[in-house]
Every structure is written in C-alpha cells, then in structure tokens.
C-alpha cells in the first residue's frame, strides 16, 4: 500500500511541476472576416420588353428603378443574398435631350466623385463581341460604388451600370462578392444586344 501511495505522490508531483512550469502567453486573436461561400455562376435572359437584351445572374432579382426621375428602361438587378444591387440606366440617343457628349461626361464625373474616398480608380476598356467598347472602372476604398461600367454605339444607345451595397461592411471584406458580381456584369456586357 505504501508503494502505491508513494507512486501516486511522485506522479502527482511531476504533473504539478509540469503545469507550474508552463507559461501561457495570451495574444489577442487577429481580426477575421466571415467566410463567404459563393454559388456557381448561372445566367438567364432579360425579358423581351426592353430595347436591349443581355444575360444576367439567376441569383439577381430584376425590378424597374422606382426613383421618380428614372427613365422608362432603368432597372435594378438586386442580389438579396449579398445585399447588393447593379443599377442600370439606359438612354435613347435618338431623343434630342440625350446628348452623347453630356452622357459620356456624366459617366466619367459619376466615377470621379468617388475620388475623395477612393484609394485608386482603375479604368480599363473592354472590346465586346459586338465590336463595341465598354469602359470599366474598378474603385478601391470605402466608396459607395465599387464597380461601374458603360457602353454606347454613339448613335442610338447609351447603357451604364453601377454596383452598390446596402451594408456598412468594409469593402475589403466584400471583395469576394464584388469580384463575383463583377464577373456577372462582364457577362452582361458580353451578351448585350440592341434591339433596334
């Protein structure tokens, strides 16, 4: 019995020494962002009631722009799972009040308004399958719109889009979603066709 008790005491002493010898350093956990699982891209055709047609994401809900001054063919593509929206504006250049020079200037000015809070604005030109050129603007920083684009045939149609989020999240944590929706916007431009 003495042998078992002394063995137990020796083991107990070794465990206590081992525990007292361990120092734990507590470090704060680094900031982390939520994991975002994005679905596979899938597209559907725009209804046949517009003077333009394109394919848009199956994860987006199509609605007419309800802003009082919105044009007849202004639409919103809302992504409810991401609290995001692509706002589409369309102008018929055959109408005398729609001057191509003013529309181009307005498109650039709307992008440059983000210059106050943007870290950078990267503009690129993309040649579309139709032969037209689209202007794309990636805007980095804590800005209201992180991606904008427009295209025109310069005589009949002017088409512009801007991505907005209805959230206070930091844009760097939204970057995977921004990239996902940007790919949808590029698909939209690549499939864009005018009806007349």
Q: What is the pLDDT of residues 108-135, one digit of tens each?
A: 998 888 878 888 889 999 999 999 999 9
13-40: average pLDDT = 67
How confident is the model at residue 92, as a pLDDT? 95
- To the nearest whole number, what is the mean pLDDT of the chain? 87
Q: Is residue 61 part of a domain?
A: yes
**pLDDT over threshold 80, residue 172:** no
Specify whether the CB–CB gap between 120 and 140 falls below 8 A.
Answer: yes
Q: Please report the beta strands in the chain, taking only residues with DSSP state E, as ranges in sequence order.
A: 43-45, 52-53, 55-57, 61-64, 75-79, 84-92, 118-127, 133-141, 145-152, 157-165, 193-194
Q: Is residue 10 part of a domain?
A: no
Q: Please, which pLDDT band fits residue 15 given cuts at 50, 70 and 90? A: low
How many independent structural domains does the chain possess? 1
Q: Is residue 117 part of a domain?
A: yes
**What CATH number should be reported for the domain holding residue 151?**
3.40.1000.10
13-21: average pLDDT = 64
Q: Is residue 155 part of a domain?
A: yes
């Amino acid at each position: 019995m003495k042998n078992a008790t002394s063995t137990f005491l020796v083991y107990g002493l070794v465990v206590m020494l081992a525990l007292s010898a361990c120092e734990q350093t507590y470090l704060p956990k680094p900031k982390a962002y939520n994991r975002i699982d994005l679905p596979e891209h899938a597209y559907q055709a725009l209804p046949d009631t517009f003077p333009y047609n394109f394919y848009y994401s199956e994860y987006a809900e199509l609605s007419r722009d309800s802003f009082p001054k919105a044009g007849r063919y202004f639409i919103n593509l809302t992504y409810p799972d991401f609290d995001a929206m692509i706002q589409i504006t369309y102008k018929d250049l055959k109408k005398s009040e729609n001057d191509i020079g003013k529309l181009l200037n307005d498109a650039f000015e709307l992008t440059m308004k983000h210059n106050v809070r943007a870290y950078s604005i990267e503009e690129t030109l993309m040649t579309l399958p139709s032969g037209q050129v689209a202007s794309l603007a990636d805007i980095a920083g804590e800005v209201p719109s992180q991606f904008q684009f427009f295209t025109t045939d310069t005589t009949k149609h002017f088409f512009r889009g801007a991505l907005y989020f209805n959230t206070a999240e930091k844009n760097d944590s939204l970057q995977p979603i921004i990239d996902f929706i940007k790919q949808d916007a590029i698909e939209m431009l690549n499939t864009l066709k005018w009806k007349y």
